[in-house]
Amino acid sequence: MKKALIHDWYYVNGGAEKVLKSLNNIWSDFDHYALIDFLSQKDREEIFVGDKSYVNTSFIQKLPTSKSNHRKFLEFFPYAIEQFDLSEYDLIISSSASIAKGVLTNSNQLHISYIHSPMRYAWDLYHPYLKESKLKGIKAWYAKRVLSKIRLWDVLSTNRVDYLIANSNYIAKRIKKVYRRDSIVIYPPVDISSFALEKNKEDYYVTASRFVPYKKIDLIVEAFSKMKDKTLVVIGDGPEKKKIQSKMSLNIILTGHIEFSEVIRYFQKAKAFIFAAEEDFGIVPVEAQACGTPVLAYGKGGALETIEDGVSGTFFYEQSVEAIINGVSKIDKMEFAPEKVRANAEKFGKERFEKEFKEVVEIFYKDWKEKINN
């Protein structure tokens, strides 16, 4: 079969791109499509296999400032994704947290979509997005109008997909709520082998993330600024850097972007990893567990599926400074066996993902062939 892999966009090497890497490991002959492609050469070599690294992009790629802020062209995303001519492909797999699942296919093509999340900014983060953007007047009206049209397109375009795969039970429930479609769950791949178990811990805590609002790094930093006897290492960078820096005290270390080997070392030696986001799945907390490091997480979303309470971590249940402080006090009183923490993470390895995904696609293909032949 001739195969195409459609992704929303390539500009960072994050959790969704780890899924793409595994898909390329399963089938190395995909042709690739995305709205934009601004990957560094280093990231490109990490994600793609062999010489199959060229990405067919949309007209969004050539628009001014698309590299620095592609989301400002949200209004054009549906039109852009529909311009890809995929008529020569037998199998189309889309990796979608936004727009990729909306590609046009015909009745002789099988389209399977791996859903990282229904569009966050159009659905569950709609009101927070508008509040944080501080848009007023005609700009606020225009943003609401665009997002309303996007929601309609998002639901209608889901009917173009033959089979949906969710990245967690949490996302499967959201798919059912938003799209009224059933999906099966295949957890994302985590490269457990890259994170060695470390039994000897030091007296500090760690968190790592892109500095964007929903990750709530500012809450973690503010909480630790009130616990000056505890050291926090913050790994990452992003738009909220200045806001986060404004809340830091001397017991908080901000590393910025660092080498992967340094990230692993911080994860391995930390007393606990702190995670305050309501995430669809959350690969980074699983990576921390692979190091034998327990996780203190916000008790909502994918974290409830990746952390075993009392075995590989524990939870707090409100995204607030006080709840994080109480959570740290809670986890400090608990004892964790690094080997058991690691064992929990091993359930989410990339070999498991690649095996499951290949088997599911083969089942879907057989089912689809029977349907079109009847």
Strands 295-298 and 55-57, bridge-based pairing? unpaired
Mean pLDDT of 310-335: 97
CATH architecture of residue range(s) 192-348? 3-Layer(aba) Sandwich (3.40)
CATH topology of 3-189+350-373 equal to that of 192-348? yes
Please state, as a whole number, how many other Cβ atoms lie within 10 Å of the Cβ of residue 369: 11
Question: Closest by alpha carbon to 185, among 349, 356, 343, 8?
Answer: 356
What gap in Å lies between CA 245 and CA 234, rounded to an integer? 10
Q: Scanning the structure block, which residue is given the tokens 């709609």?
A: 126
pLDDT digits (tens, 9 = 90+) for 185-226: 999 999 999 999 999 999 999 999 989 888 999 999 999 999
What's the 3-state SS for 257-320? CCCHHHHHHHHHHCCEEEECCCCCCCHHHHHHHHCCCCEEEECCCCHHHHCCECCCEEEECCCC
Question: Can you give the pLDDT at residue 32?
Answer: 97
Question: In the β-sheet with 31-34, what is the strand arrangement from edge to edge?
Answer: 55-57, 31-34, 3-7, 91-96, 110-115, 163-166, 184-185
Check if the beta carbon of residue 127 is closer than 8 Å to that of residue 41: no
Domain boundaries, the chain: 3-189+350-373, 192-348
pLDDT digits (tens, 9 = 90+) for 65-87: 999 889 889 899 999 999 999 99
pLDDT digits (tens, 9 = 90+) for 18-69: 999 999 999 999 999 999 999 999 899 999 987 888 999 999 999 999 998 8
Bridge partners, 207 (sequence order): 234
Which secondary-structure segment (H or E) carries 159?
Answer: none
CATH class of domain segment(s) 3-189+350-373: alpha beta
pLDDT band, residue 144 (cuts 50/70/90): confident
What percent of the chain shows pLDDT beyond 70?
Answer: 99
pTM of the model: 0.87
